[in-house]
Structure 1
């Protein structure tokens, strides 16, 4: 078990619906990350931007982007996570990959499809939450609109790190800022929110505000950055567990189950 987890997250200006250009962009940025990093986080739909053009953009699971993720995970000896447009059995998914350094991987299909943008009319929502065990850390990766639904993120399994990858627009960034901090505090876990910047092909503007919080809601990275940047930081599991032991808020959590 590793008490420290060195992570990096990349806030980019994505190239609209251009998977090859975005993979090239991220290859360059990943190459600049230090070799001490053990987990690299990429945004939602990191090869395309948040597009409903799934018919023309979707890949099979075992296709070029997964091969690219595996290769970069191998080269950097680091896990990599982010979501991609995937087609499977005649349906489309906003699918997050969590790829381990050895090339194995876990999948999470975004549960809450964004009805305001009619994402639900194109993509099928997932049914199961994913908890990843990596280097002794329990990690819960979620996608964008999932952030608005605290029950889905509720820390009933004592996970250590909550991740949201997103394309969250500027016009609602106040909600992004507030909810990320709330998720960290209420779940007594590290919380990382990774957004994009720039303007997409549908005219939506994004202003980033990617951030990491500790288990009490203290920011660990610079607030409200709107430019392209890569952040590297080290998370301390023992410090988090000591906070939980001292505060004991999670011991008072409600017991419940989710009905479909």
Structure 2
């Protein structure tokens, strides 16, 4: 089977809502937004951080076990035993913690740097869904503006990028454009799960060719949205041209450096003749 059912869940309490049980049974992948447990307003109000082991994450682990789905718990403030706080996304599958990502790029206008320490690493994870081995990765909100981070993940074989966010409506054009660009340039699926309300906006998903496969813009907000990921479209996008294979600069190919001289100074440029030797 080459199709996956993905869901964006915008409220943590929907995870335990009996009315949503049937919907959850159909999903292979479930994603929540950035700071899903209250946002920056809760942090500013003194909400305590979680630990990786506390009960907040139990519904995510339980759901992933009951329905054999991969659950990306959006993100939340997580404190280490040493007291270091990070904006962290935890991923669960079959009841176990599969992957963790701590937000690397902190967005100063919203005070990220006041609440969190930056993450120090990135990576991808492998999960089996519908009998298919899928390589996926997570970045959080502002990370989306740094294409070199996502290209490095794509070179690890990433097929699906998940982006929990609190991206405001006023910058929706940038949000859509960046999601689509990351999908097209890396030929991957990009799923942008955005918070609702004053701190958030709309959510989108794009396939490897940049085609939009989900949007909740222009309709009444719902706490759970479901859409389909057609894995065959990934191979189809790469059949015509494979961006990752043809990215010569990342394969070690070097080019001569040319510097435009200031007026009145000799040129330090490398000539075409010397570059060809």
| Structure 2 CA distance for partners of 1:23 and 1:239, relative to 1, 3 Å | closer
| Structure 2 CA distance for partners of 1:120 and 1:212, relative to 1, 3 Å | same
Runs of 4+ in 1 over 4 A off after TM superposition: none
- Give TM-score, length-normalised by structure 2: 0.79
Paired residue for 1:249, among 216, 227, 243?
A: 243
Q: CA contact under 8 A between 1:44 and 1:50: conserved in structure 2?
A: no
| Structure 2 CA distance for partners of 1:41 and 1:117, relative to 1, 3 Å | same
Q: CA contact under 8 A between 2:161 and 2:191: conserved in structure 1?
A: yes
| Structure 2 CA distance for partners of 1:57 and 1:48, relative to 1, 3 Å | farther
- How far apart are residue 30 of structure 1 and its match? 4.7
Q: Which residue of 2 aligns with 1:66?
A: 57
Unaligned runs of 5+ in 2: 253-277
Q: Which residue of 1 aligns with 2:212?
A: 219
Residues 100-109 or 133-142, more deviating: 100-109
Q: Which residue of 2 aligns with 1:24?
A: 13
Q: What SS class does the counterpart of residue 197 from structure 2 fall into? A: strand
Alpha-carbon distance in 2 for matches of 1:79, 1:239: 21
1:153 and 2:142 matched = no
Alpha-carbon distance in 2 for matches of 1:92, 1:244: 40
Q: Which residue of 2 aligns with 1:171?
A: 170
| Structure 2 CA distance for partners of 1:95 and 1:256, relative to 1, 3 Å | farther
Q: Which residue of 1 aligns with 2:25?
A: 35
| Structure 2 CA distance for partners of 1:225 and 1:118, relative to 1, 3 Å | same
Q: What SS class does the counterpart of residue 217 from structure 2 fall into? A: coil
Q: Which residue of 1 aligns with 2:265?
A: none
1:205-242 Cα offsets, whole Å, 9 max, x none, are: x33x2111110110112362464233322323233123
Q: What SS class does the counterpart of residue 74 from structure 1 fall into? A: helix
Residues 133-142 or 243-252, more deviating: 243-252
Paired residue for 2:89, among 72, 89, 96?
A: 96
> Please, what is the CA RMSD of the aligned residues?
2.2
1:125 and 2:125 matched = no
1:88-130 Cα offsets, whole Å, 9 max, x none, are: 1111111100111232331100111111122112201112112
Q: CA contact under 8 A between 1:197 and 1:227: conserved in structure 2?
A: no
Q: CA contact under 8 A between 2:166 and 2:195: conserved in structure 1?
A: yes
Alpha-carbon distance in 1 for matches of 2:220, 2:173: 17
| Structure 2 CA distance for partners of 1:64 and 1:129, relative to 1, 3 Å | same
Q: How many residues align?
A: 240
Unaligned runs of 5+ in 1: 13-21
Q: How does 1:49-60 map to 2 (within 5 A)?
A: 49-51=39-41, 52-53=43-44, 56-60=47-51
Alpha-carbon distance in 1 for matches of 2:219, 2:34: 17
Residues 210-219 or 69-78, more deviating: 69-78
Higher relative contact order (CA 8 A, sep 6+): 1
| Structure 2 CA distance for partners of 1:138 and 1:80, relative to 1, 3 Å | same
Q: CA contact under 8 A between 2:76 and 2:88: conserved in structure 1?
A: yes
Alpha-carbon distance in 2 for matches of 1:225, 1:150: 28
Paired residue for 1:141, among 138, 143, 148?
A: 138
Point out the structure with max Rg over C-alpha.
2
Q: What SS class does the counterpart of residue 221 from structure 1 fall into? A: strand
